[in-house]
Chain A
Amino acid sequence: MPEAFSESACGPAPYRTMQPSDSMPDTVAAKLSVQELSAWYGEKQVLIRVSLDIPERQVTAIIGPSGCGKSTLIRCFNRMHELVPAAKHRGSIQLDGEDIYANGVDPVLIRRRIGMVFQKPNPFPMMSIRDNVLAGLRLTSTRRADTDAIVERALQQAALWSEVKDRLGEPGTGLSGGQQQRLCIARALAVEPDVLLMDEPCSALDPIATTRIEDLLTTLRERYTIIIVTHNMQQAARVSQKTAFLLQGELVEFTETDALFTKPKDKRTEDYVTGKFG
């Protein structure tokens, strides 16, 4: 890691120069602002002073080779990282200008504002499709009168409604892999979060199911700030407006997706996006 540091110390580090206002439309504000974030598992450091501003209502992709710290990074965003025994972090993350790691901030409340979709679809096996969508409300004992409307809205948003509307009582695990993943998206949306984190949501899915989820992201970004981890660069190029390239725990480059893939500033980004490694 020391070489990487000295390298970015010589030239202007690409991410340091990024300001929220830089080359962004006026309407876009930073939803999540990450400053100098480092993270460890025990003694092992897996994120090294990562700083980036995630724009509101856009899709931000995080790419990088396996093990570079992508999952760790987004798990810091919803305070899931701290659930791992011996996990540590330093630095700050602000959601709408509010430090989510400040004293007295309840991680549970942060997670209701920042939803998460996992790599492998993980619907609750003993719950019906309907109950899965409502799981966030049920688990937190949130009483709502309009549950039917919530279920329909969330499933509509996840583009699953037409496929399951006649069998809402059936178990969620009976659906196909792609449908299960959209059910998990609906489950996350039913809690009405602001931000949706997706950790390689398509890596367990076939190409058709993948396309459906990618299409879905385009409509979801009108209402939600989406951060998607992917090791598939084509996917990042297709769905995201901005892309961050992470390498061995370090943020190498973070810029407009088009720019990152067509004229990367950093040699390592270029090597990665042209397939020289990864």
Chain B
Amino acid sequence: MSVVDPPRNSSRISGRPPSRALERAFRGLCLFAALLPVLVLAVLLFDVVRTGLGRIDVQFLTSFPSRRPQTAGILAGAVGSVWLVGLTAAIAVPVGVGTAVYLEEYARRGRLATLIEINISNLAGVPSIIYGLLGLELFVRALSMGRSLLAGALTLALLVLPIIIMATREALRTVPLALREAGLALGATQWQVVRQVVLPMAVPGVLTGSILAISRAIGEAAPLVVLGALTYVDFLPDGVTSPFSALPIQIFNWTSRPQAGFAVNAAAGIIVLMVTLLMLNGAAIITRNRMQKRLGR
């Protein structure tokens, strides 16, 4: 209620109508704000696809790096990324789910739980390059893992842990109290209820969170650069202690080369990365919808 214009009539529908023009203008502004990033992204994508699509062929996918752009390929980076992401998931998913289960199901609202919670939200906001520095000091040097896949995967695991923890907690929270009580009233222990009632129902959420986390890990270059991932690798990793390259590293390296041919290679690499990410996200959405249907929600 405005002070200048006190309502004479108690009825709300009488009186001066609110300004339609202002509302329309505001709606337009919002729409513009929503479309702008999409538009910018579309332009960028279009540019990349135009430059790089023609470069993608069997040779590109199956070749090691080379000094000549025409014979160079993404094999080492792509295989390195698969290793890296697989390892990252194998480390981060169990730890993240475990943390979430502890916080949601077991932790009393006390100091420890609050401390862990604050740390997790802080971790989520730390720039990824800082994780790289942490990984370099902790895993590469202090734990003498060297510039290995394992050091890279552990670093990325730390990076994506908050995503998995938050997604899992969200999923655990949606499991109705009535179902937990049903299990407990049947004489099950809390762990039995968590494992057999609560976690199965949280799987779609955990899965979505994990795939989002993996997508994040696939795209990260900065921490790996700091960590010392290689840019010129003419072998495939043979274990977790192997040195490695990764797709984003390869792309990053190509973009910094002067020859025009490498710019084309970079664009082609970006397309491969983008398609992989879109497929992962698509898979996440489809699995989640399927499972939610199965859970009757």
The reply to whether the CB of A205 lies closer than 8 angstroms to some CB of chain B is no
Contact with A along B276-297 (1 / 0, CB 8 A): 0000000000000000001111
The reply to whether the CB of A102 lies closer than 8 angstroms to some CB of chain B is no
The reply to whether the CB of B260 lies closer than 8 angstroms to some CB of chain A is no
Q: Are A124 and B182 in contact (CB under 8 A)?
A: yes
The reply to whether the CB of A116 lies closer than 8 angstroms to some CB of chain B is yes
Contact flag A139-B197 (CB < 8 Å), given A125-B296, A126-B294: yes
Q: Are A120 and B178 in contact (CB under 8 A)?
A: yes
Contact of B186 among A85, A109, A141, A188 (CB under 8 A): A188
The reply to whether the CB of B6 lies closer than 8 angstroms to some CB of chain A is no
**Complex CA distance for A239 and B296, rounded to whole angstroms:** 34
A126 proximity list for chain B (CB < 8 A): 200-201, 294-295
Contact with A along B169-189 (1 / 0, CB 8 A): 000000010110111111111
Give the one of B179, B182, B197, B294 with max A CB within 10 A: B182
**Complex CA distance for A80 and B182, rounded to whole angstroms:** 10
Contact of A118 among B178, B189, B297 (CB under 8 A): B178
A85 proximity list for chain B (CB < 8 A): 108-109
Q: Are B197 and A140 in contact (CB under 8 A)?
A: no
Q: Are B185 and A109 in contact (CB under 8 A)?
A: no
Which residue of chain A has its CB nearest to the CB of B196? A139
Contact of B185 among A78, A125, A141 (CB under 8 A): A78
Q: Are B200 and A184 in contact (CB under 8 A)?
A: no
Q: Are A124 and B186 in contact (CB under 8 A)?
A: no
The reply to whether the CB of B192 lies closer than 8 angstroms to some CB of chain A is yes
The reply to whether the CB of B230 lies closer than 8 angstroms to some CB of chain A is no
- How many residues of chain B get a CB closer than 8 Å to chain A's CBs? 24
Contact with B along A180-212 (1 / 0, CB 8 A): 000010011001000000000000000000000
**Complex CA distance for A164 and B188, rounded to whole angstroms:** 26
Contact flag A80-B184 (CB < 8 Å), given A125-B296, A138-B196, A139-B197: yes
**Nearest CB in chain B: distance from A62 CB, A:** 17
**Nearest CB in chain B: distance from A48 CB, A:** 25
A109 proximity list for chain B (CB < 8 A): 187
Q: Are B186 and A122 in contact (CB under 8 A)?
A: no
Contact flag A125-B186 (CB < 8 Å), given A138-B196, A139-B192, A139-B196: no
A112 proximity list for chain B (CB < 8 A): 186-187
**Complex CA distance for A202 and B256, rounded to whole angstroms:** 72
**Complex CA distance for A123 and B178, rounded to whole angstroms:** 9
Contact flag A136-B295 (CB < 8 Å), given A118-B178, A124-B182, A126-B201: no
Residues from 140 to 192 in A contacting B, C-beta threshold 8 Å: 140-141, 171, 173-174, 184, 187-188, 191
**Complex CA distance for A173 and B179, rounded to whole angstroms:** 12
B226 proximity list for chain A (CB < 8 A): none
Q: Are A125 and B201 in contact (CB under 8 A)?
A: yes
Q: Are B187 and A136 in contact (CB under 8 A)?
A: yes
Contact of A122 among B179, B193, B201, B297 (CB under 8 A): B179
The reply to whether the CB of A69 lies closer than 8 angstroms to some CB of chain B is no
The reply to whether the CB of A259 lies closer than 8 angstroms to some CB of chain B is no
Contact flag A108-B189 (CB < 8 Å), given A139-B197, A173-B296: yes
Contact with B along A97-131 (1 / 0, CB 8 A): 00000000000110110011010101111100000
Give the one of B182, B185, B186 with max A CB within 10 A: B185
Contact flag A80-B196 (CB < 8 Å), given A108-B187, A112-B186, A125-B296: no
**Complex CA distance for A173 and B192, rounded to whole angstroms:** 21
A116 proximity list for chain B (CB < 8 A): 185
Residues from 238 to 297 in B contacting A, C-beta threshold 8 Å: 294-297
Q: Are B193 and A139 in contact (CB under 8 A)?
A: yes
Contact flag A140-B179 (CB < 8 Å), given A124-B197, A126-B294, A173-B296: no
Q: Are B187 and A140 in contact (CB under 8 A)?
A: yes
A–B Cβ pairs within 8 angstroms, 16 of them: A80-B181, A80-B185, A108-B187, A108-B189, A111-B185, A112-B186, A115-B185, A115-B186, A124-B182, A126-B200, A135-B183, A136-B186, A136-B187, A138-B196, A173-B296, A187-B182
Q: Which residues of B contact A (CB under 8 A)?
A: 108-109, 176, 178-179, 181-189, 192-193, 196-197, 200-201, 294-297
List of 7 A-B pairs having minimum Cβ-Cβ separation, nearest first: A112-B187, A139-B188, A136-B186, A116-B185, A111-B187, A122-B178, A122-B182
Known: A135-B186, A139-B183, A187-B186. 4 other contacts (CB 8 A): A118-B182, A123-B182, A124-B179, A187-B182
